[in-house]
Every structure is written in structure tokens, then in C-alpha cells.
Copies of this chain bind each other. A is one copy, B any other.
Amino acid sequence: MGLEGFFNPKSVAIVGASHKKGKVGHEILTNMIKSGFAGQIFPINNKAEAIEGLKCYPDLKSIGKVPELVVVVIPAPAVPAVMQDCAKMGVKSVIIITAGFKEVGKEGAEIERQVVRIAKQAGIRVIGPNCLGVIAPANRVNASFGGELPKTGAIGYISQSGALLAAILDMANANGIGFSKLVSIGNKADVDELDVIRALAEDKETKVIAGYLESINNGNAFVRLAEQISTDKPLLLVKAGVTSAGAKAASSHTGSLAGSETAYECVFERAGIIRCTSIQQQFDFAQAFAYQPVPSGPNVAVITNAGGPGIMAADAIEQQGLTFAKLSDETVKKLAAKLPPAANLYNPVDVLGDALADRYELALGAALDDPKVDIVLVLLTPQAMTEAVPTAQAIVKIAHQKRDKPVLACFLGATKIQDAIRILREGGIPQYESPESAVATIKAMHDHVRWLRRPKRIVKMFPVNRRKVEAIIERHLRQQMREIGEADSKEILEAYGFLTPRGSIATTAEQAANIAGQIGYPVVLKIWSPDIIHKSDVGGVKLGLRNDHEVMDAFDLMMYRVAKKMPDTEILGVLVQEMCKKGREVILGMHRDPHFGPLMMFGMGGIMVEVLKDVSFYLAPLTEEEAKQMLMATRTYQILKGVRGQESVDIEVIAEGLQRLSQLVTEFPEIKEMDINPYMVGPEGTIPIAVDARISVERV
């Protein structure tokens, strides 16, 4: 299943190699040659004797050997025949560079299907079509038309856009950034992002996996794999194509609050993927993860030779929620002994504008030795006396001596610092354009460490009545009913351990008063109709009725008014229900993402939920820890904990409610959307009541 045949082939055939400059078939051939590839290269071209000094072959079969990698650069319609040759010869790895397949329409898609069919039968792995190719610097493989072979480095890159990869390569080469492997996956006819990420995870040279993706093929497998890999190798992704579209016709609150971004945010959080907002930021992050240890805490020390950038760094540290390290007395003493009197000995350590390399060396050493410092950021502005190059060398030296804490640099300027920056890069010290981008990188590292240290995921299973729910859902699906009514919803909730309010349906005012008498006052009336989704919008809810008269009046008024407002609606009656004791209203919800499955939601309930949007999402199934995290991620949590002398509610039982709901929707993929709203929670020791619920189902 590995992609070794692409990354480290002993021989490469290029079908469609050309002697015409500017042609892709020429560029790939010359890129392979110029890279210093140690194996054999076979140009395949039936019109030429030799290209660039290499003997040409009219077709694959005439080589007389089996090339380990075949790169195809001929028009799409001719590709299936080449694939047949590969299959017959036993070729195992094929890159199809050519465009004109699935992306151009029906005919192309049919050719692509043929290619895949041949490949699957013969056990050939195919990268592409419609891609830029594959690059493996350490093996001197540049089977691409992306540009010059980059330096060897620790970043493995996967891109769904070939043109973007070419631009990245150009930028990286200009800045001396190295890669372990670069793969352009194009149409993903066979090899997809999962295969490449898996291969990079197994690749010893790759320390960081970075990528640009527009779509993800297999959501669940992706989450599982990414979560597993992130533990060893940071996964840095730019995910494009977030533009909203879906979620418009959602009937639940959860559905309408879950934007197109929500699922990806949940997936990235769960799997520990580090999301980057731009390619620039991705390389900012990648440098640090690839060449520096991760920090063991949030305490940042800053060393600078100018006040301004120091202040900018301090601002950024505060804004990112990191901690500005308080240097230990010992460190301050060390600095005081060696730095001039005007120097600032506290954080940011200002070694002053006339600092030579020695002051930086001293300050960096002292900061790294300080147990109260977890990360050091070194700032430099090029001033009259500044020794940029010796300072860079000193930083590299000290950072290598004390390897346990990350050191980042931000040398400001351009021409005056360019040699210094080269030294930093070669020494594995990430260099940033601005204090802000350096601090954003520190924040990403810190967040990743928190993810790495998360508690083990144990999903609790509650004893439930699964059969009962199965029967209700099955009945609805059989009858093609997509919304589950209040009575059935209540049964489902009870089957999964939720408490629901007592009540019955009344069809006359007198009946309503009777039921109310049995339940005990006060009661609530709710209109009873399969067609009405949001009852309070149409005046279909009346709270706090205190006696027979009020109940009968409310019944008649409701029947009259709702019928008048919605003349075509079937009204089955009115639900007379126990009035829940005073408490806080929260919402527990679920929205099923088509790619990644159930997204759980928690937030302030009642009519405020869509206005205040104080909600949090997480991917099911939930652990107890995750359920609690969801609560804590909202401002509602502060209210639940009790503000201004009000009683606090029972946080544990709300978290349990979320876990029970998570179990329900995980066990029943037929449940498409669901809200428990309001979920009425009282003070500690009381059990919350699922007052109302919306459940919609569909056949899976």
C-alpha cells in the first residue's frame, strides 16, 4: 500500500518525453535529468532517436526492462493503451500528468474510469491524472513540471492544486525551504489524500505533513487516520472551498447554526489537525514543527535589540492568550552581571540597539536555562552596530546546545539580514517576517501540545432501550414520515434515559382541564400538529396556566387562532403538560454532516439560541471530557455555574445528557437532525427535563 515506487524508483520511463522546450514532456524529462537521479531514465517517444542525450524508445515494451515508475504525458485518449502496456509488463507505479479526464466532462470521466479499472486489475497505483507530479529531493526524483528540485528537508507536502504547488515550490526554492516529498494528487482517480498522508506518516524523512486540500473523500477514515498520525507527526492543512451553500433548509436549530465550516472545525479539533489560514501561515508553522521541539508550557521570553518590535511581540502574546514569561531572579541576576546598565533585564529582554552577537548569545542562553521559560523568541532589527550574521550563528549554536525548548527568530528587514536568515534556516531556526506571525506560530505549537496531552478517549455506554427506538424510527421510515412527533420523540428520549414532562393530548377544552387536574397545576398547553415545527411562532404555546378556567380559555383561544393563522394545517389537539420547575434552558442538539457524521451541539436554549449563537460543536461520539469541554466552550457555562448569587446548576448531568444524546445518534444513523430544546436544568441534585424535542429521520 506504500508509495515507495513513486518516491524511490530505480528506473523511470517518461511516456511522451519531448525535445521541444516549454512542452511538459520536455520539462519533466529535463527536471529528472537535472536533479541528478541515480537510476535509469527511459524517454518514450516514437519520433525521436534520442532526447537530451538519452536513447529514446518507441514504446514501453521496447525498453526490454520493467521501469519501476512510469510518468505519462500524452493526451488522455491514448492513456488507456499505455496503462494496458504497464499492466502487461508488471509496472506498479504510474503518474498521469495529462489533463482532459474527469475534470472536463463525460468523455474524460469515461477514460478515467477505464484507467482505474486497468490499474485495479493489475495492482497498479496511479497518481493523477491532471497533476503536477511527484518530487522526492533526497532521492533526486523530480518527476514533475513544477520547477527545480528543492532542498531536502523534513516537510512532506500534498496538494490538490498543481498550479499552487508550482508556486509553493518557487517560493520555497527562493527561501531555501526544504521538503521530504511533494505530491500533486490531481483528480485522485486512485491514490487520494489518505494514501499520501499515510505514506508520509510512514516516511522517515518526513517530520511534518502539510497539505492543500479542497475536498476529502472518506470522512470517517480521514478522521481516524489523521487522529492517529497527529500523535506522531503534526498535520498542517489549508482547507479551501469553505464557501457556504448547504444548511439552508435545516429545520432544527442545530442544523441552522451549523455552518459549512463547523464540520471541518470539529474534525480538525478532534484529529489534532493544525488548520492554517493561508499558505504563508502554513510554512510559518511547518518550519517550527519540523525543526524545533514543541514547548512544554505557554511562557514566552522575548529577546530584542529595539523596544518597538518587543512591544509588538508582547501585544501578540497577550492577544493569543499565551503567557509573557516572568524571568526567575537567577536569570535577571545573570543578565544584570553581563548586560549594560540601560538594558532591560526583564521580559522582553532588551539587549539595546548597539548589541553585538555576544549579548544575544548571553541572553538566549540565560532564557533557555530559566525553568520559568518554555519558548524563546529572538527579535533583531538591523541597526548601525548590529551583527546580523554572527548573531544568527550564536542563536543556532545556543539553540543546538540546549535542545529541549523551541527557539524562533524574527529578524526584521530584507537586504541587511538576508545572509543571517540563510544561516538561521540552515541551522533549523525558523525565521518570521513579523513578531505577529512568530507568535501565531507559538500559539499553534502550544495548542498542539494541549491536544497531544488530552485525556485518553473513553466513550461511556449507557444502558438503554435500543429496541424501542428502532421500532419507532422504523415505523416512521416505513410511513415516509421525516419528522417524529412529540409523543414518539418523548418515548425515544425516555428510552435513552432522559426525563420528560408528564402530559397527555386533549381534543376538547374540558378534557384539557381534566388532564391538568390529574397532573397538578400549573400546566402548559402546546398545539399538537405534525405540520407545525416552531410552535411558539404561531402562538401555539401557553405557559403557566393556573386553574381550570385558564386552561379552558387557553385551549379554545389556541384552537381558534392557530387554525385561523394556518388554515391548511391539520391540528390533532392540544398537549397538556406539566409545567417544569424554574431552571435554566439549554439546548442539546445534533446535526449529521454528510461526510463526517453526527456533530453534537450545546448552547443556551429557548428562543435565544439562534440570536445569541452562543453554541459549541463537537464530533460524536463524545467522551465525558469532551462533553464537559463543550459546556465550557460557551459563555452560557458561566451562567450555569451561577452568576451574581444565583444557584449553580448540575454541570455533570448536562454533560451526561450530551453523552446520552451522542450515544443515541451514533447508534441510529437514521437520525438526521435532532434538538432537545429546552433541556431544563435545575440546581445541583435535580434531574434535568427534556421539555421539547425535534427529531428528523431518513433512510440510510
- Name A residues whose Cβ lies closer than 8 Å to a Cβ of B: 22-24, 27, 99, 104, 145, 147, 159-164, 166-168, 170-171, 173-175, 212, 214, 238, 240-244, 277-280, 305-309, 311-312, 314-315, 318-319, 324, 342, 353, 381-385, 412-417, 433-437, 534, 536-539, 607-608, 610-614, 635, 638-639, 643-646
Contacts and interface: CB of A to CB of B under 8 A. Distances in A.
B308 A214 contact: yes
Nearest to A280: B434
Given A534-B644, A644-B536, A166 B315 contact: no
Contact of A311 (B241, B414, B434): B241
Contacts of A414: 170-171, 173-175
Contact of A161 (B24, B160, B308): B308
B170 A415 contact: yes
14 contacts: A22-B385, A27-B384, A104-B342, A160-B308, A163-B305, A163-B381, A164-B306, A164-B381, A166-B383, A171-B414, A241-B311, A278-B435, A278-B436, A608-B643
**Most chain-B CB neighbours within 10 Å: which of A27, A308, A613?**
A308
Contacts of A214: 307-308, 311
Contacts of A159: 308
A46 to B, nearest CB: 23
A145 B635 CA distance: 52
A311 B381 CA distance: 37
A326 to B, nearest CB: 14
A226 to B, nearest CB: 21
Given A416-B147, A536-B644, A612-B614, A244 B318 contact: yes
Contact of A278 (B277, B434, B645): B434
A84 to B, nearest CB: 27
Nearest to A26: B384
A297 B241 CA distance: 24
Contact of A413 (B166, B381, B611): B166
A170 B536 CA distance: 64
Contact of A314 (B243, B435, B436): B243
Contacts of A278: 312, 434-437
A76 B608 CA distance: 64
A382 to B, nearest CB: 6
A416 B170 contact: yes
Contact of A318 (B104, B166, B242, B314): B242
A306 B99 CA distance: 13
A308 B212 contact: yes
Contacts of A437: 278, 280
A311 B536 contact: no
Nearest to A417: B170
A379 B104 CA distance: 22
A579 B233 CA distance: 63
Contacts of A435: 278
A412 B243 CA distance: 22
A217 B399 CA distance: 41
A35 B552 CA distance: 94
A412 B167 contact: yes
A312 B638 contact: no
Nearest to A241: B311
Contacts of A238: 312
A315 B278 CA distance: 11
Contacts of A433: 280
Given A170-B415, A385-B22, A416-B147, A161 B309 contact: yes
A415 B163 contact: no
Given A164-B308, A306-B161, A635 B612 contact: yes
Contact of A612 (B23, B612, B645): B612
A300 to B, nearest CB: 13
A384 B20 CA distance: 12
A639 to B, nearest CB: 5
B309 A163 contact: yes
A648 B292 CA distance: 57
Given A175-B414, A645-B536, A166 B244 contact: no
A163 B353 CA distance: 8
Nearest to A279: B434
A306 B537 contact: no
Contacts of A607: 643-644, 646
A160 B416 CA distance: 21
Contacts of A170: 382, 412-417
Contact of A610 (B307, B383, B643): B643
A415 B172 CA distance: 10
A173 B415 contact: yes
Nearest to A418: B174
Contacts of A27: 384
Nearest to A214: B311
A435 B240 CA distance: 12
Q: Determine which residue in A104, A147, A164, A238 has the highest number of CB atoms from chain B within 10 A of its CB, and name it.
A: A164
Closest 7 CB pairs of A and B: A161-B308, A163-B306, A174-B414, A167-B412, A170-B413, A163-B381, A164-B308
A636 to B, nearest CB: 8
Q: Which of A159, A163, A315, A382 has the most CB of B within 10 A?
A: A163
A309 B538 CA distance: 47
B614 A639 contact: no
A434 B244 CA distance: 21
A689 to B, nearest CB: 21
Given A242-B318, A278-B437, 4 more contacts: A161-B306, A166-B382, A170-B415, A241-B315
